[in-house]
Amino acid sequence: MDEAIVSLSHVDAGYPGKVILRDVSFDIMRGEVFILLGGSGCGKSTMMKHMIGLNPVLAGELTVAGMKWGSRTRAGLCRKIGVMYQSGALFGSMSCIGNVMLPMEEFTSLNRKERKEKAMSLLADVELADAADKMPSEISGGMKKRVAIARAMALDPEVVFLDEPSAGLDPITSASLDDLVLKLRAEKGMTFVVVSHELPSIFKIADRAAMFDKARGGMVALGDPRDMKVSSKDPFVLKFFNRGDSHV
């Protein structure tokens, strides 16, 4: 965990004409589970969109695996990252296994049998081998997210981004996704960057976290969230971790 896989230096995040977060700097180390956290609308998903190359940063420098997003580096960088979107974003016209095989079909020289074997292995990793031939409309929200994680790992990425994996899930399904993240990190050594504001999930999986505050328009804390909860001097951070009560 001593090499930065994602590095931000004085980054301004937002959209053209609207800066949401200013002057954000931190590194995400290889092999860690890193959480982007904060209240609703604070800019954590926007920050993730910069990291995965959907939107360019407004200022500063952002590198993933040592490269900046650009037209020349895009193709290479896309194979170094995997993304699970909040809704799963599975392609409705393809079965679950079809979704997982798609990146391999486009970017590897594996034949159909090899692709299918690898996709089945990935679905087994997320405990959904039985649902391989089902269509996304036939499976639950939690299962969609698991299939999306399997698809995100199809090209053996160096870093996997998860956008609010717990959103819309019951506590048991949400906890099982947390276990899955920890299992995949342990087995495959992947780096996970997770956007979340679910405290039980954060305390369970996070190595480190960056906390953003909408009112101040920037990062207000960086480190182990367990330490933040007990030793932060920042009233916003204390209030966030103690569910609204800043005096706890």
Partner 1 sequence: MFEFLGETCVCAVAALFRPHRFRFGDSAVAFQRASFDGIPVTSGVGFLLGVILAFQCAAALKAFGVELYVSDMLAIALFRELGPVVTAIILAGRTGSAFAAEIGTMKTNEELDALTTMGLAPVRFLVLPRVVAAAAAMPVLTILSEIAGLVGGAVVLATMGVPQSVFWSHVADATTVTMILFGLAKSLFFGFVVGMIGCFEGMRTKSTADGVGRAATGAVVGAIVAIVMLDGLIAVIADLWEI
Q: Residues interacting with partner 1, by CB under 8 A?
A: 52-54, 74-75, 78-79, 81, 83, 85-87, 89-93, 102-103, 106-107
157 versus 217: smaller Cβ distance to partner 1: 157
- Both tokens assigned to 87: 């809704």
To partner 1, the closest distance from the beta carbon of 103 in angstroms equals 5
The DSSP letter of residue 16 is: T
CB contact burial 82-95 (16+ within 10 A = b; e otherwise): bbbbbebbbeeeeb
Q: Rounded to whole angstroms, how far apart are CA atoms 115 and 119?
A: 6
Q: Rounded to whole angstroms, how far apart are CA atoms 146 and 194?
A: 14
52 versus 237: smaller Cβ distance to partner 1: 52
84 versus 180: smaller Cβ distance to partner 1: 84
Name the burial class of residue 182, with classes exposed (0-12), middle (13-18) and buried (19+) by CB atoms within 10 angstroms of its CB: middle
To partner 1, the closest distance from the beta carbon of 10 in angstroms equals 24
Name the burial class of residue 29, with classes exposed (0-12), middle (13-18) and buried (19+) by CB atoms within 10 angstroms of its CB: middle
Task: Name the residue among 17, 22, 70 with its Cα closest to residue 43.
Answer: 22
To partner 1, the closest distance from the beta carbon of 247 in angstroms equals 39
- Both tokens assigned to 109: 């020289």
To partner 1, the closest distance from the beta carbon of 148 in angstroms equals 8
To partner 1, the closest distance from the beta carbon of 89 in angstroms equals 4
110 versus 182: smaller Cβ distance to partner 1: 110
What crossing angle do the helices spanning 112-125 and 96-107 adopt, rounded to 10°?
Answer: 130
15 versus 107: smaller Cβ distance to partner 1: 107
159 versus 206: smaller Cβ distance to partner 1: 159
To partner 1, the closest distance from the beta carbon of 195 in angstroms equals 13
